[in-house]
Amino acid sequence: MTGSTAFKALVVNETDKNTFVRGIETRTLDDLPDGEVTVKVHYSSLNYKDVLSATGNRGVTRKYPHTPGIDASGVVAESSAPSFKPGDEVIVTSYDLGMNTPGGYGEYIRVPSGWVVPLPAGLSLREAMIFGTAGFTAALSVWRMIDNGVEPGHGEILVSGATGGVGSIAVSILAKSGYTVVAVNGIVDESDYLKEIGAREVISIEDATDTSGRPMLKGRWAGAIDTVGGEILATTIKTLNPNGTVTCCGNVASPDLPINVFPFILRGVTLIGIDSQNCPMPTRTRIWEQIASEWKIDWLEKLTTEAPFSELDAKIELMLQGKHKGRTIINIAEK
């Protein structure tokens, strides 16, 4: 391969101050940053952070033009790192990929070798992107909750934002692992979908949110996976059973947490923050191995919509409109 090798990528350009347009353009390998491993991307996926980057959010991406895509799976094209060789199937998620480093919405990426995870046995490149960052975050959340002592027999587990990518996979992993899952439905009624992927019960946002200001509420949940933050997370903390655990990985509802210390000091509950972006590599590889084995979901295709590269922009718009559910994977290699 030469630096002049051309490929297609979704490029977001700033045409005027805070005015952004995006479209598929031709790039070359010379446009990619330095790195030990060049990967020919087969699949990527659609995440909320990708939508933020694609619409000019400076909190995600500082400089434009830019290629989003925080997820990629593919085959090593070139490598100067002894741990990878051409032809190896790999996963690249998190770190700075798709944020300020050109991401998976291009036919090639070039990254440091420390960002690259060998594709574990039992998982295809396509399946890896059905999970992607969202699935990895869900799995890491479940793992941290279990590691903190929450077992299936302890009681119900609440999952907020359950129709989204993280929530859908969390519901599925928990159900497969024998937990009784109660899912919080979104604005659009997706009760049938949530029960199909493993939820025992579905409740509304209103039922999951208490705005009375009371410092404590009657306990119900043995554990919870929260993906939205704000009042729902605060209510969840107040309704955890003694020694319950909730993980938190999102703030789409609000970054604020209107809560006091009483649930923590009177019930001994635990709030665990989930940072999948900077997860250490030993834990990262362990979680991917778990995803490829015990936590590989039998009904994976029920969560999944696949789109060709040419329809990526339309899928971004769908997520902007709040009409996205489950996981959308983008077939980058398909011509």
The pLDDT value recorded for residue 183 is 97
pLDDT (tens digit per residue) in 225-255: 999 999 999 999 999 999 999 999 999 899 9
Q: With left for phi above 0 and alpha for psi between -120 and 50, is residue 278 left, alpha or beta?
A: alpha
Confidence at residue 204, expressed as pLDDT on a 0 to 100 scale? 94
pLDDT in tens, 30-48: 999 999 999 999 999 999 8
pLDDT, position 325: 74
Domains and CATH numbers, the chain: 6-119+299-331 (3.90.180.10), 134-273 (3.40.50.720)
Which residue's structure tokens are 């996979």? 169
Of residues 188 and 208, which shows the higher confidence score? 208
In this prediction, residues 300-311 reach a mean pLDDT of 91
Q: What is the pLDDT of residue 118?
A: 98
Strands 6-16 and 19-28: antiparallel
What is the Cα–Cα distance from 65 to 79, expressed in whole angstroms?
26
Quick one: pLDDT band at residue 302, thresholds 50, 70, 90?
A: confident
pLDDT for the residue numbered 189: 79
Share of the chain above pLDDT 70, in %: 99
DSSP SS3 for 40: strand
∠ Cα 104 38 106 (to 5°) = 25
Q: What is the mean pLDDT of the chain?
A: 94
Instruction: Write the pLDDT tens digit of every residue in 47-64.
Output: 989 999 999 999 999 999
312 pLDDT exceeds 70?
yes
**What is the per-residue pLDDT for 48?**
87
User: Which of 266, 229, 263, 268 lies closest to 247, judged by CA?
Assistant: 229
Nearest 5°: the CA angle 290, 93, 39 is 110
Task: Note if the bond before 68 is cis, omega within 30 degrees.
Answer: no
67's enclosing H/E stretch is: none
- What average pLDDT does this structure show over 126-134? 95
**Per-residue pLDDT at 69 exceeds 90:** yes
Question: Is the pLDDT at 335 greater than 80, yes or no?
Answer: no
Label the pairing between strands 327-331 and 37-45: antiparallel
Q: Say if CB 219 and CB 241 are below 8 A apart.
A: yes
Judge if pTM exceeds 0.75.
yes
